């Protein structure tokens, strides 16, 4: 599976605070997401939901709460944590009358004047 580097975000998944890792595949129009539970209070997680998290290694992450203010937390079993769910969804073809193709993780359309451009 070839894909772009994913990004990690704090979310509430199935009523559990989690890190969601998402990536878009280079070779097919699909997006994959995987969820790992974190050891964080659910109510604090609700405040941070949607914020990007950065991996510090071995299952430890940090997230920015405000400028120059970071909070550090870990997955439930650190680097040995198993995911509690994931899914792969298809990225729909854009609604256009010209020819389209999936290339390098994005849809492109063929314009007569400019050739292949991002759709």
Q: How many C-beta atoms lie closer than 10 Å to residue 34's C-beta?
A: 18
Residue 2's pLDDT is what? 39
pLDDT digits (tens, 9 = 90+) for 82-109: 999 999 999 999 998 899 999 988 999 9
Please state, rounded to an integer, the average pLDDT across all residues of the chain: 88
Binned at pLDDT 50, 70 and 90, residue 5 comes out as low
Residue 15's pLDDT is what? 87
Q: Cα separation of 72 and 48, whole Å?
A: 12
To the nearest whole percent, how much of the chain has pLDDT over 70?
95
Q: 4: which 2 tokens?
A: 């772009």
**This prediction's pTM:** 0.79
Are 35 and 20 in contact by the 8 Å Cβ rule? The answer is yes
SS3 of residue 87 by DSSP = strand
In the predicted model, what is the mean pLDDT of residues 6-17? 88
Residue 4's pLDDT is what? 46
Are 54 and 8 in contact by the 8 Å Cβ rule? The answer is yes
């Amino acid at each position: 599976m070839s894909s772009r580097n994913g990004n990690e975000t704090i979310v509430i998944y199935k009523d559990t605070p989690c890190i969601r890792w998402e990536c878009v595949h280079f070779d097919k129009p699909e997006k994959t997401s995987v969820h790992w539970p974190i050891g964080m209070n659910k109510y604090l997680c609700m405040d941070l939901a949607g914020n990007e998290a950065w991996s510090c290694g071995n299952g430890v992450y940090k997230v920015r709460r405000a400028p120059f203010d970071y909070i550090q937390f870990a997955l439930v079993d650190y680097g040995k944590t198993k995911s509690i769910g994931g899914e792969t969804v298809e990225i729909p073809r854009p609604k256009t009358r010209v020819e389209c193709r999936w290339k390098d993780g994005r849809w492109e359309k063929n314009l007569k004047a400019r050739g292949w451009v991002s759709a």
